[in-house]
Amino acid sequence: MQKNRIILLFCFIIANSSLFSQDWNKILLYQNDAETYMFDKQYDKAAETFKKASKIVPDNANFKFKIGYCYLRTDDKKKEAIGYLEDAVKNVSPDYKEKSLKEPKAPTLALYLLAEAYRIDQQFDEAAETYVKYKEFLKPDDNLRALVDQNIASCKNANELIKDSVSVKITNLGNTINNEFPNINAVVSGDGKTLAFTTINKLGNDIFISNKVNNIWSAPKKITTQLGNKYLLTCFLSFNGKDLYLSSDNPENNDIFVTTIEGNKWIQPLQFEKPINTKSNETHVCLTKDGNTIYFTSDRKGGLGGLDIYKATVNEKGLWGEPVNLGSGINTPFNEVTPFLTPDEKYLFFSSEGRGGLGGYDIFYVNLEGSQKVQTLNYPINNSDNNQFYFPENGLKSGFISFYDKNSIGRRDINHIEMGRFTNLNGKILAESNDSGKPFKISIFDTSKNDTIAKLESTSNMSFSYRIDAGTYQVLINNSKYLPFSKEFTIAEDFNGKEFPFEAKMQPIPVEKPKLIAEVLPVAVKKDTATVEKTKPVKIAETPKKEVKTEPAKPKEKITEKVKVKVENTVSSTSEVRLSIYAVQLMALKTDIGADYFKDIDNIEITLSPEGFYRYSVGSTESMEDAMATLGKVKALGYTKAYVRIDMIDAAYTIQLMASNKPIALSTFNNISGVNENHGSDGLYRYTVGSFANYTDAKGELSSIIESGYNKAFIKKVRIK
């Protein structure tokens, strides 16, 4: 009986051993299938296959690690990696056997990947703690310690970096370009007419070309078959779009290639020879417009570590010279990838994992014509994920990049990015006091757009703030107790500060009445020489308000023989009514050159300053916006030093009865005495009556005039001559 029990137990052990063996055979098949999916970059399918194996051995930390690894490599399911990696790190071992199918533990790398997953999900505190745990397994001389320390610092600073965001406009290129697969590595020719990109599909990579027709990208054409290789990646297009530069998508041996379109067909890619391609990895390339300078990435010996950016130029034999490492100002001990020049070749963009930021790879740029200080793109262009392959289209203002978000058509979509490098204009008004009790009125004018972008009022501590982009602006400040203030300033395109300080020193209006200055009559003078770029004449004149007219005005002939010369009013009187008059000053000379000198601008006004300067101005107006619009036109004609001058003049109120295209006999106004006729530069005859020191007096008289039959009469300000 005892013997039979031993035989039965032996048979049970054999049966279970056979079953267990069959399970591992099945697990081996799952692992082989998953690795095939990984090779084809189908990481979501690889994760699902590893999950089948994990169900057979649910306590195996190694398969939890592999599932988490695969999810972290997907575009749209990175967050799903966290749970599996959290399980995996419960059983990690520095003695992990990578090639053992039955390895029950996870490698210490699982801690690093969990920290990455936390960081991407913006769980920065958890990420920092996990990086610290991973660091405990590293040897003191391990180069990875520096990268881990950098990532820990990035996590601690991440929330502040996210707050320091920029305004961006993101435009998905749509389903004409993007499809359900990852669409990556978009590059545009320098002339803006050709787009090339890569799509990762189930069988490798496809290369597509699209052309811009009527400012719209055409349906892309697949050229993979013409190239004869399904494992290539787009890198760069020549300026005319005729040469396409590629790299091999082979982690073991990347090289750089170029193909050219001949007729309607792209030839098979030609491999770069030494010294560009070597036995090391060369992963990316871009060139200058003339094709004589090349920037590329390589992990060849002699670099600073990982992939570095190199530069080479064509020598006198027409061959590539010896490449030069760009040095520690740009390269780090870790990887630098995907360098690109802006179309003007002023800036070099690249991605680096060795410069901090939000962690992982971030996008940086350097001004090749300036200090060469490396700057970073702000959030959300750089985010908590890996940010690579940003193709700059218009300096620092726009470019193309691929990423996945909830609005994506595929796993990754190509998007056009327009960004504003905004900074806070922090203004401080310096004035003795503000006895008027009224705030200072501030206008900010964008000279490039000829538009007022902001109208503000000062705070109680006489300051103001406004968020602006790079560009040239003019600030105008007004207050009833102070002379108008105007100042132009420029924020450089590569300005990277959070604040731009601005001071306005206000001058109080003098209370003493000035001495009269006699009118200066025109005199015959010889012309000074002055060099100003000239174009076709442009009429710049006042735009009259809507008025009652008897018929359309006839064109007024241009008069250049006589020019009114007047003495510039430099200080104010004690009149109750004052006007701010804005005019665009073209130049100031000690000798009068006459209005005829300015053949490209009509209606020139010449004023003689007390210092003896003849000042040449145009576009005199009460509207700051009109003056700034005129300034833009004048600068476009070549008068680059022109600016808006502000004068304070005495003014009064009058009542306008009507305006006419033709003169009207004053006897017509037989029921009103003291009617004046004024023939304006616009050809209109205006008929006014009275001069009032304040608006209240004018309003009282207006009622009786309307009762006399002039029901469209109105009050207007006039200058005191």
> pLDDT by residue (tens digit) across 10-20?
344 334 444 45
* Neighbouring residues of 662: CB distance < 8 A, sequence distance ≥ 6: 550, 551, 685
Longest dimension (CA), the chain: 147
For 198-212, letters b (16+ CB in 10 Å) and e give bbbbeeebbbbbbeb
**Inter-axis angle of helices 61-72 and 2-39, nearest 10:** 20
Single-letter residue type at 124: F
The answer to whether residues 362 and 401 belong to one domain is yes
Instruction: Give tens-digit pLDDT for 545-581.
Output: 444 444 443 333 332 333 333 323 333 334 445 667 7
The answer to whether residues 646 and 697 belong to one domain is yes
CA angle, residues 698, 700, 702, in degrees to nearest 5: 70
The answer to whether residues 587 and 642 belong to one domain is yes
Which pLDDT band holds residue 436 (cuts at 50, 70, 90)? low
Q: How many domains does the chain contain in total? A: 4
- Picking from 254, 295, 294, 293, the residue whose alpha carbon sits closest to that of residue 277 is 254
Q: Is residue 243 over pLDDT 80?
A: yes
**Per-residue pLDDT, 347:** 96
The answer to whether residues 444 and 393 belong to one domain is no
The answer to whether residues 416 and 428 belong to one domain is no
Which pLDDT band holds residue 526 (cuts at 50, 70, 90)? very low
Instruction: Give tens-digit pLDDT for 396-416.
Output: 889 999 999 988 998 999 999
In a domain, 595, yes or no: yes
Q: Give the DSSP H or E segment for 18.
A: helix 2-39
Most confident of 36-40, 346-350, 566-570, 679-683: 346-350
In a domain, 540, yes or no: no
- Picking from 94, 115, 120, 116, the residue whose alpha carbon sits closest to that of residue 106 is 94
In a domain, 518, yes or no: no
Lowest pLDDT segment from 79-93, 332-346, 379-393, 493-507:
493-507
The answer to whether residues 339 and 288 belong to one domain is yes
β-partners of residue 427 are 464, 502
In a domain, 70, yes or no: yes
User: CATH number of the domain that 184 lies in?
Assistant: 2.120.10.30
Residues 434/446, Cβ–Cβ less than 8 Å: no
The model scores a pTM over 0.85: no
**Per-residue pLDDT, 539:** 47
Q: How far apart are CA 459 and CA 428, in angstroms?
A: 10
Of residues 512 and 362, more confidence is placed in: 362
The answer to whether residues 380 and 436 belong to one domain is no
The mean pLDDT value of the chain amounts to 84
Q: Outline where 198-280 has alpha helix (H).
A: 224-227
Between the CA of residue 715 and those of 630, 666, 672, what are the distances in Å? 27, 20, 16
By CB atoms closer than 10 A (0-12, 13-18, 19+), residue 184 is buried
Q: Is the peptide bond before 380 cis (omega within 30 degrees of 0)?
A: yes
User: CATH number of the domain that 43 lies in?
Assistant: 1.25.40.10
**Per-residue pLDDT, 615:** 84
Residues 235/245, Cβ–Cβ less than 8 Å: yes
Give me the percent of the chain exceeding a pLDDT of 70: 86
**Domain endpoint, select from 393, 420, 447:** 420
| Strands in 225-384 per DSSP E | 232-237, 243-248, 256-262, 265-266, 270-271, 282-287, 293-298, 308-313, 324-325, 336-341, 347-352, 362-367, 375-376
The answer to whether residues 206 and 292 belong to one domain is yes
Between the CA of residue 587 and those of 541, 560, 569, what are the distances in Å? 18, 19, 18
What spatial distance separates the first Cα and last Cα of the chain, rounded to whole Å? 135
**Domain endpoint, select from 478, 505, 532:** 505
Q: How far apart are CA 612 and CA 618, in angstroms?
A: 19
**What tokens does 541 get?**
């004149």
Overall average pLDDT of the 126-143 stretch: 96
Reduced 3-state DSSP string for 262-274: ECCEECCCEECCC
In a domain, 516, yes or no: no
Lowest pLDDT segment from 22-26, 256-260, 261-265, 323-327:
22-26
Overall average pLDDT of the 45-58 stretch: 96
Q: How far apart are CA 130 and CA 89, in angstroms?
A: 10
Overall average pLDDT of the 122-138 stretch: 97
Which pLDDT band holds residue 181 (cuts at 50, 70, 90)? very high
The answer to whether residues 360 and 332 belong to one domain is yes
Residues 390/427, Cβ–Cβ less than 8 Å: no
**Per-residue pLDDT, 613:** 81
User: CATH number of the domain that 632 lies in?
Assistant: 3.30.70.1070
Residues 403/182, Cβ–Cβ less than 8 Å: no
* Neighbouring residues of 361: CB distance < 8 A, sequence distance ≥ 6: 335, 337, 351, 352, 353, 386, 387, 388
Instruction: Give tens-digit pLDDT for 222-239.
Output: 999 999 999 999 999 999
Q: How far apart are CA 222 and CA 205, in angstroms?
A: 11
The answer to whether residues 213 and 152 belong to one domain is no
Between the CA of residue 574 and those of 248, 509, 609, 612, 651, what are the distances in Å? 81, 10, 21, 26, 11
Structural domain boundaries, residue 499: 423-505
**Per-residue pLDDT, 85:** 98
Overall average pLDDT of the 87-113 stretch: 96
Q: How far apart are CA 220 and CA 186, in angstroms?
A: 12
Q: Three-state DSSP class for 307?
A: coil
**Per-residue pLDDT, 525:** 38
In a domain, 239, yes or no: yes
In a domain, 153, yes or no: yes
Instruction: Give tens-digit pLDDT for 627-668.
Output: 888 888 888 888 888 888 877 666 678 889 888 888 888 778
Overall average pLDDT of the 598-604 stretch: 83
Give me the percent of the chain exceeding a pLDDT of 90: 53
Instruction: Give tens-digit pLDDT for 659-702.
Output: 888 888 877 887 887 788 777 767 788 888 888 777 778 888 88
Q: How far is CA 531 from the centre of its chain?
A: 36
In a domain, 542, yes or no: no
* Neighbouring residues of 274: CB distance < 8 A, sequence distance ≥ 6: none
Of residues 615 and 344, more confidence is placed in: 344
**Domain endpoint, select from 136, 163, 190:** 163
The answer to whether residues 600 and 493 belong to one domain is no
Instruction: Give tens-digit pLDDT for 271-292.
Output: 999 999 999 999 999 999 999 9
The answer to whether residues 302 and 437 belong to one domain is no
Overall average pLDDT of the 292-315 stretch: 97
- Picking from 410, 415, 408, 430, the residue whose alpha carbon sits closest to that of residue 487 is 430
Q: How far apart are CA 335 and CA 303, in angstroms?
A: 11
